[in-house]
């Protein structure tokens, strides 16, 4: 738990520093001070509301025991096995098979699955996927992933805003520098995300295998998702690539998939899971 709070603190400090750097680039000392204040406020806002923003971004609809007993009861059984409070359950109307968890802590968590993953996977495989997401909740990864997804997008918007409105006369940045800042600031935010996110997936795979008691089911699910997700675009993820690292599998297609590679290689994940067969 301490390790995750340390990662969160590093993430928040890095975000504030990026905001300050962008502000200084476009508005000098005054711009830096304004951007630092904005970065601090954004951290506070993201801590409390970023999960709701991401769920709204994906048009997720809340499910319950009446509207979706299959998924809801599966999550409830797994949450009991994991000794976790029952999270809110959401369904996203997307053909691509994928899932994610969000929230600031286990008492305020949510798990979401696409309609595509519910159609494509067997009950056993889907159970492994939802156990993986609950492992993220149990490991307290969800605050880090949700905050970084939200604020990375804000840094990109700040850089674009700074190019359009930053500085006047001699204080206005050179156009080439401004364009570079627009490109490099979001990339720096992505680097912060990637530095934190990749190891979390291995941990959640192992935790999911332990919660479900069935590592082979999760391995099989990952193989299926990898095979199909590449060919089925998810438009919301393409518009907001900063959210890719929240998913169980990278949802981006084409060159974007490699550029924002926040997940370890699927074959490595599957190999580690199969090593756990008979041991959990």
**pLDDT, greater one: 205 or 153:** 205
Number of domains the chain is built from: 1
**Percent of the chain beyond pLDDT 90?**
49
DSSP readout, 7-61? HHHHHHHHHHHHHHHHHHHHHHHHHHHHHHHHHHHHHHHHHHHHHHHHHHHTT-E
For residues 218 and 66, the answer to whether their CB atoms sit within 8 Å is no
Residue-level pLDDT at 142: 84
Q: What is the pTM of this model?
A: 0.80
Residue 280 lies in a domain: no
Residue 132 lies in a domain: yes
Please tell me the predicted confidence (pLDDT) of residue 194.
63
- The domain of 73 spans 2-275
Higher-confidence residue of 71 and 6: namely: 71
pLDDT of 11 strictly over 80 = no
Q: Are strands 88-92 and 61-63 parallel, antiparallel or unpaired?
A: antiparallel
Average pLDDT over residues 269-279: 95
Residue 94 lies in a domain: yes
77 is catalytic: no
d(CA 152, CA 158): 10
Question: 133, 210, 216, 242: which is the annotated catalytic residue?
Answer: 133
The residue among 233, 238, 237, 222 whose CA lies nearest residue 271 is 222
Annotated binding site for Zn(2+): 132, 136, 201
Residue 35: inside a domain, yes or no?
yes
Q: What is each CA distance from 257 to 190, 191, 251, 263, in whole angstroms?
A: 13, 15, 7, 10
């Amino acid at each position: 738990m301490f390790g995750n709070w340390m990662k969160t603190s590093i993430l928040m400090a890095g975000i504030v520093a990026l905001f300050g750097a962008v502000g200084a680039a476009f508005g000098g000392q005054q711009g830096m001070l304004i951007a630092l204040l904005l970065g601090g406020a954004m951290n506070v806002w993201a801590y409390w509301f970023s999960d709701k923003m991401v769920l709204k971004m994906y048009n997720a609809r809340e499910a319950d025991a009446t509207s979706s007993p299959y998924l809801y009861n599966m999550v409830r059984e797994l949450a009991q096995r994991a000794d976790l409070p029952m999270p809110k359950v959401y369904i996203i109307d997307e053909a691509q098979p994928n899932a994610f968890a969000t929230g600031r802590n286990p008492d305020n968590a949510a798990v979401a699955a696409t309609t595509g993953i519910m159609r494509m996977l067997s009950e056993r495989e889907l159970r492994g996927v939802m156990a993986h997401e609950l492992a993220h909740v149990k490991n307290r990864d969800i605050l880090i992933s949700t905050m970084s997804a939200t604020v990375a997008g804000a840094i990109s918007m700040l850089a674009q805003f700074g190019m359009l409105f930053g500085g006047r006369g001699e204080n206005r940045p050179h156009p080439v520098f401004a364009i570079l800042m627009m490109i490099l600031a979001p990339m720096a935010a992505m680097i912060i995300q990637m530095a934190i996110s990749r190891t979390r997936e291995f941990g959640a795979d192992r935790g999911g295998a332990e919660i479900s008691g069935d590592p082979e089911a999760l391995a099989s699910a990952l193989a299926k998702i990898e095979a199909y997700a590449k060919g089925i675009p998810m438009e919301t993820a393409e518009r907001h690539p900063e959210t890719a690292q929240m998913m169980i599998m990278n949802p981006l297609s084409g060159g974007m998939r490699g550029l924002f590679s926040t997940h370890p290689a699927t074959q490595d994940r599957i190999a580690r899971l199969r090593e756990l067969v008979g041991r959990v």
